[in-house]
Structure 1
Amino acid sequence: MGAGLTGLWTAYELQRRDPGLRITLLEKRIAGFGASGRNGGWCSALFPASTAALEKKHGREAALAMRRAMIDTVDEVGRAAAEAGIDCDYERGGTIVFARSESQWRAAQHEVEHARGYGVDALELWGADRVHARDARGAVYDPACARVHPAALVRGLARRVEQRGAVIHEHTAVESWTPGAVRTDRGTVRARHIITALEGYGATIAQSKRRILPLYSLMVATQPLDDAVWEAMGIAHGQTFSDGRHLVIYGQRTADNRIAFGGRGARYHWGSAIRDEYDRVDRVFEHLVATLHDLFPQLPPLEIEHAWGGPLGVPRDWHASVAYDPTTGIGSAGGYVGDGLSTTNLAGRTLADLVTGRDTALTRLPWVGHRSPSWEPEPLRFLGANAGLVAMTTADAEERATGRSSVIARAMSPLIGH
């Protein structure tokens, strides 16, 4: 259920394990319509729950296994895309996260030192002489990230699984499911194995409505920029970038030299509503352009040639999960909180192992079998989600005013998987 990256990678991996399987994907709109085709193009090793949070909940060895699996997945996506003949502009250039205040610089130093203690991530601390963002004291460089064109990846993957025999029923809305059967607006599909791969759109179906919260993130894409501008910005091909603020921003240098840049800031809508008109918020688009100019004063006037948005899926404890019950044949994956471009691939490989009854290193990862609590009913869900948005905005303002790490952000940390 769902022909985004989770459903498609699961189908792709099942076909690799058993080419004789009959696989059907049910999709309300078109393959890749949701976050899978509209994201920021970061194929990263980021996981919604931090390594420290995973260690606290699952133990050190399990946390380290999850980190290694996520780092390996960055390369696996590139390898699998090449194997499938998908041209998605994959280039592994790493991520630069600028530290633009004293509090961000202290946080960057702590992050690198903390990562060294685990001995898995290869983070580097860059000094001010290596970065070109406004007011940057330095940056954290993470080599475990690749630039990807997400729509090219998801549409290419859809074509590949169809070529291998899977059937994708687009414009088919799932209404409910029980063991062995999925009811849609066009009839019932019966299958031994059923995988829920709806991510944020699971909030539109009654039986999963409170399992996931759809949180909107919006993006813009500029005109192509000259190589000289990119050199002045200090961003090479294949690199993605952000800074240390709490209200998340994310950018990449596209293959054709545009800036594709996005961020949070759009509010949560009552009752977990998802509507096409929520994809565009002029106030947020204007804020994103202003943020780009603030981040890179080297930029010329920018023409915004494309602007869009969409919902991502947030579980109550900000902990992504994979699950499969062999007694009912029902499985699921999701809750990526915007870190799904690579994590979906890991989910697909893990679900394929679970469905085919294999006991592997992937099926023993700590996110397998994890169950997040349900979100509160309205109006608590509405008040809490939007209060969180205000809190992160306020935390950034607090740090700018005081020069110290935000008290508000520390208070929010346990609620967002850190």
Structure 2
Amino acid sequence: MPFQSEPTPATRAALRDTASTPFWLDDPGRPAPQPPLTADTRADLVVVGGGLTGLWTALRAKERDPGRDVLLLEGASVGWAASGRNGGFVAASLTHGRGNGERHLPAEVDRLDALGLANLDAIEKSVAQHGWDCDWERTGSLSVATEPYQVEQLRGQAGFLDADAVRAQVDSPTYLAGVWTREDTALVNPARLVWELLRTCRELGVRVAEGTVVRGLSSDAEAVHVRTGSGSGSATVHARRVALGTNVFPALLRRYRLHTIPVYDYVLVTEPLDAGQRAAIGWRNRQGVDDLGNQFHYYRQTADGRILFGGYDAVYHWGRSLSARHDQRAESFQTLAAHFLQTFPQLEGLRFTHAWGGAIDTCTRFFPFFGTGHRGRVAHVAGYTGLGVGMTRFAADVLLDLLAREEAGPTELTELELVRSTPLPFPPEPLAWAGVEVTTRSLVHADRHEGHRNLWLRTLDRFGLGFDS
């Protein structure tokens, strides 16, 4: 059924008095901040970025070589950006879904699927090995059809559920069919995963400096020089190798600055459901759920019995604008609240306690790309496009292999076409804004016309730039 987005008295009441802090970060158990870097220093490896990419890179570096001196630099606080704002879905896919992988890397997709499942298993092993308190649940994912034409997209797939069967899993009148894949997705509290990674990194000897903005890189025959801060608060780190996990922020290797754009995504979290409300929707197997529109929703339960509901709107601001003022968008919250109540009308009266947004580092192939600079002594990754929680550990291993390639030679990971290829960059303004606007309008049109892709979308498909989720 088509989703209606108009605000109503019920949606306005449900959104009254929401907190703007991301639910995951609104936690009294968050760690105390680490002091900033205030003096020049040296390190074997500098990791720039204190999100999941940077923390996994620091951890994997110490696991490979416990004697390596690793310094992690974070401009604000660890996990404050995408790593602490996402839905907490940990997907096995390294290519933003099998279909997208087949479009971009058809000869490699089977191998990447196997590597992705092995990567998810490795994350689960680390959670158990280190005793991380991060609400890890390997519940799988439930993809649901809410329009008749989407039923045919699912029919014949392993795990297919008809309308009655899917509603026996999660009871929504919008569901017409579904597919439950049991092993490809886990759920996690992403902020606690960040904080537990931080704890383990520090226990292994990683030095961490928060509130330390990296301003630029330079190099000579001896080292890569990482400049931080400004004025009297500036300091330089002289490093043998540098790994960049700066995500949506402007790339420190300038050649990659046009390869991503920031697209803002929005999320709501409800108050905890009571026993009657839980019984009304079922959902005893706690799968992560997504629907099949180009403008799609993702939702899940939290450990304390709330529902996180996000997605649908994806908002780009002129000039690749990144700003805290974009984190709050009343129109998107009203849209999500209206869609939530259509998905679960039996929960009318439930309030939302948290509403927030954040920027996704989007690239034209919708899964990460890698690069190097400064004669192979700096490695870079970006372009996760919203499905990066699981991919970050895989990316960490790729970054470390790229940095070791001069001494150790190529590895299985560095020889992957996924690693060796680079997506097309986005154009500069005004073409970037115009392209995003036309594409967004075309995807909305497709959702309203049984998935039919117009000439613009078919042209993007032909050039390897098209995507349906």
TM-score between both structures, scaled by the size of structure 1: 0.89
Counterpart in the other structure of 2:3: none
Matched-pair contact (CA < 8 Å) for 1:175–1:205: no
Counterpart in the other structure of 1:192: 240
Separation in structure 1 between the aligned mates of residue 272 and residue 280 of structure 2, nearest angstrom? 15
Matched-pair contact (CA < 8 Å) for 1:326–1:355: no
Matched-pair contact (CA < 8 Å) for 1:218–1:310: yes
Counterpart in the other structure of 1:300: 348
Q: How does 1:220-259 map to 2 (within 5 A)?
A: 220-236=268-284, 238-259=286-307
Query: Cα distance, 1:11 vs. partner?
Result: 0.8
The structure with more radius of gyration: 2
1:69-110 per-residue CA deviation (whole Å, 9 max, x = no partner) reads: 112222222221222332110001111111111111112227
Q: How does 1:150-299 map to 2 (within 5 A)?
A: 150-179=190-219, 180-185=224-229, 186-202=234-250, 208-236=256-284, 238-299=286-347
Separation in structure 2 between the aligned mates of residue 289 and residue 51 of structure 1, nearest angstrom? 30
Query: Cα distance, 1:207 vs. partner?
Result: 5.7
Separation in structure 2 between the aligned mates of residue 292 and residue 138 of structure 1, nearest angstrom? 18
Matched-pair contact (CA < 8 Å) for 1:237–1:253: no
Amino acid at match of 2:414: T
Further displaced range: 201-210 or 175-184:
201-210
Q: 1:82 to 1:202 in 2, by over 3 A?
A: farther
Query: Cα distance, 1:44 vs. partner?
Result: 1.1
Query: Cα distance, 1:382 vs. partner?
Result: 1.3
Structure 1 segments unaligned to the other structure (5+ residues): 113-122, 400-404
The question of 1:101 aligning with 2:147 is answered yes
Amino acid at match of 2:122: E
Amino acid at match of 2:141: T
Counterpart in the other structure of 2:177: 138
The question of 1:38 aligning with 2:85 is answered yes
Counterpart in the other structure of 2:438: 387
Counterpart in the other structure of 2:160: 125
Separation in structure 2 between the aligned mates of residue 173 and residue 358 of structure 1, nearest angstrom? 32
Query: Cα distance, 1:187 vs. partner?
Result: 2.3
The question of 1:75 aligning with 2:125 is answered no
SS at 2:366 equivalent: coil
Counterpart in the other structure of 2:112: 66
Q: 1:79 to 1:231 in 2, by over 3 A?
A: farther
Matched-pair contact (CA < 8 Å) for 2:242–2:377: yes
Further displaced range: 332-341 or 208-217:
208-217
Q: How does 1:330-409 map to 2 (within 5 A)?
A: 330-356=378-404, 357=408, 359-399=410-450, 405-408=451-454
Query: Cα distance, 1:410 vs. partner?
Result: 5.6
SS at 1:192 equivalent: strand
Query: Cα distance, 1:162 vs. partner?
Result: 1.7
Matched-pair contact (CA < 8 Å) for 1:199–1:212: no
1:182-233 per-residue CA deviation (whole Å, 9 max, x = no partner) reads: 2222222221111111111136996643121111111111000124433432
Counterpart in the other structure of 2:51: 4
Say which structure is richer in helix: 1
Q: 1:364 to 1:235 in 2, by over 3 A?
A: farther
Separation in structure 2 between the aligned mates of residue 367 and residue 175 of structure 1, nearest angstrom? 29
Separation in structure 1 between the aligned mates of residue 354 and residue 342 of structure 2, nearest angstrom? 20
SS at 2:208 equivalent: strand
Q: Percent identity?
A: 30
TM-score between both structures, scaled by the size of structure 2: 0.80
1:160-198 per-residue CA deviation (whole Å, 9 max, x = no partner) reads: 212211122211112222341222222222211111111
Counterpart in the other structure of 1:119: none
Matched-pair contact (CA < 8 Å) for 1:316–1:375: yes
Amino acid at match of 1:139: G
1:291-334 per-residue CA deviation (whole Å, 9 max, x = no partner) reads: 11111222231211111111011113324223456943111122
Kindly report the root-mean-square deviation, in angstroms, between the aligned alpha carbons of the 2 structures. Answer: 2.3
Q: 1:154 to 1:58 in 2, by over 3 A?
A: same
Q: 1:302 to 1:31 in 2, by over 3 A?
A: same
Amino acid at match of 1:177: L
Amino acid at match of 2:378: I
Amino acid at match of 1:91: E
Matched-pair contact (CA < 8 Å) for 1:203–1:214: no
